[in-house]
Amino acid sequence: MISFERSDQKTVTRRFMSFEDVAMKDIIEREARAIFQTYTRQPLVIVRGSGARVWDSNGREYIDFVAGIAVNNVGHCHPMVVDAIKKQCELLIHTSNLYYTENQVVLAEELKSLTGMDKVFFCNSGTESVEAAIKLVRKATGRYEMVAATGSFHGRTMGSLGLTYKSNYREPFRPLNEAAFVPYNDAEALKSAVKRSTAGVILETVQGEAGVYVASNEYLRAARDICDDNGALLIFDEVQTGFGRTGRWFGKDHSGIMPDVMTLAKAIAGGLPMGAMLASESVSSCFQRGDHASTFGGGPLVCAAAIASITAIKNEKLVKRSEDMGSYLISKLRELPVRTRGLGLMVGVDIEGDARSAVDMARERGILLNSTGDRTLRLVPPLVVTEAEIDRVVDVLGEIL
């Protein structure tokens, strides 16, 4: 039985419900009083998750096509991740990077082998991985100018914000070190923008927040060449595209192009907060002791969760499953009056009507969706999603469209 501590300290339980709705309203009201109002939240209190499903405080079940925004790749509360967390937290939850832990080394070796990069720096989120990348390319090149793409999203802290395209995100926080923004997938525009003064070019292999736009292999090849010609470093931000999301381990694997620096987060640790910045040997060697640090980065608990999550992706062949289920999802969506695009289980859907209303209507029918624009839905379900769940979501989309 779930219980809610109310602000008046009385405990409201499901025994008294229809108090369920009262309890939800209570949480929503208390949130408004206690928490910065920086999020547009949906009126839903989520209490439990398993696989591609979550349950709200009223016990109502939803198929989750948001997955914590491309975080829950192995599904909610994957038993291997839960088990690894339970075991590790009885041994050691936190120590510091003043000491060694085996989990951190094992995970770094695994990430090296999966990505083909040489060195790993652990942090706690996507934006932190981008901050680390910015510092690294600045130190490695001795330059500070950055080039990014229109539509890009790289985070909200003061360095990564300068690389994030939407000007209304940046505007209130100027001055920032802002990138030169060039149209995505336009090699000529990139060529004109990258100079001998450019420190780094940062690209998502598939743009997520923009509404799921896939970089062509030719574009990524051109970006590699343009950087090499100018002594600039190429950063692939794979925070959203990592860990099987696109039907390959990483978005870059569709093209075979290797960046100098990669950023990872979101799905890396099966739902726990973690980020990582990876680089080739020649670039990473410029970071020396004291150049960067994080108290929590690469802690034993999150590393244990990440190792378990990666093992689950391998055991359950979720990368291939993402490719197969992604094709299935796109084929089903083609039956609807929508435009779709994407790779694997990272799918953008342009609809005729208002995307935010579609999200509300879907939620009322037991489906969680996310909109990235007025007319665009982003579908990023757990990679464990079944054909039956996809069928149900497409049926509901058909109804509400």
CB of 127 to ligand PLP, least distance (A): 3
The residue from 24, 67, 239, 369 that contacts ligand PLP (CB under 6 A) is 239
**Sign of torsion, CA 97 99 103 109?**
positive
Residue 76 φ then ψ, to 5°: -70, 135
Q: Hey, is 148 helix, strand or coil?
A: strand
Question: Counting contacts by CB under 6 A, is residue 101 touching ligand PLP?
Answer: no
At residue 321, the 3 state secondary structure works out as helix
Binding of ligand PLP at residue 57 (CB under 6 A)?
A: no
**Nearest-angstrom CA–CA distance, 114 and 348:** 26
Q: Which is nearer to ligand PLP, 162 or 208 (CB)?
A: 208
Choice from 111, 201, 265, 318 touching ligand PLP (CB under 6 A): 265
Nearest to 64 by CA among 359, 292, 320: 359
Q: Which two tokens stand for residue 280?
A: 């080739």
| Nearer to ligand PLP (CB atom), residue 4 or residue 259 | 259
- Our finding on whether 127 is near ligand PLP (CB under 6 A) is yes
**Least separation, in Å, of the C-beta of 164 and ligand PLP?**
8
Contact 342, 326 (CB under 8 A): yes
Residue closest to ligand PLP, measured at CB: 126
- Segment lying near ligand PLP (by CB under 6 A), choices 57-65, 153-161, 168-176, 218-226: 153-161
Peptide bond into 273 cis (omega under 30): no
Count of residues engaged in binding ligand PLP, rule: CB under 6 A: 15
**Cα separation, 29 vs 44, whole angstroms:** 12
When asked if residue 249 is in the footprint of ligand PLP (CB under 6 A), the reply is no
Q: Which residue, 209 or 323, has its beta carbon nearer to ligand PLP?
A: 209
Counting every residue written for the chain, the total comes to: 401
Task: Provide, rounded to whole angstroms, the least separation between the CB of residue 215 and ligand PLP.
Answer: 12
Of 75 and 273, CB closest to ligand PLP: 273
**Strand ranges in 161-259 using DSSP code E only, listed in sequence order:** 180-182, 198-204, 206-207, 213-214, 233-237
- Residue 288 or 295: the one with the smaller Cβ distance to ligand PLP is 295
* Minimum gap (Å) between residue 25 Cβ and ligand PLP: 28
Bridge partners of 339, per DSSP, are 350
What residues line the site for ligand PLP (CB under 6 A)? 69, 125-127, 130, 153-155, 204, 208-209, 237, 239-240, 265
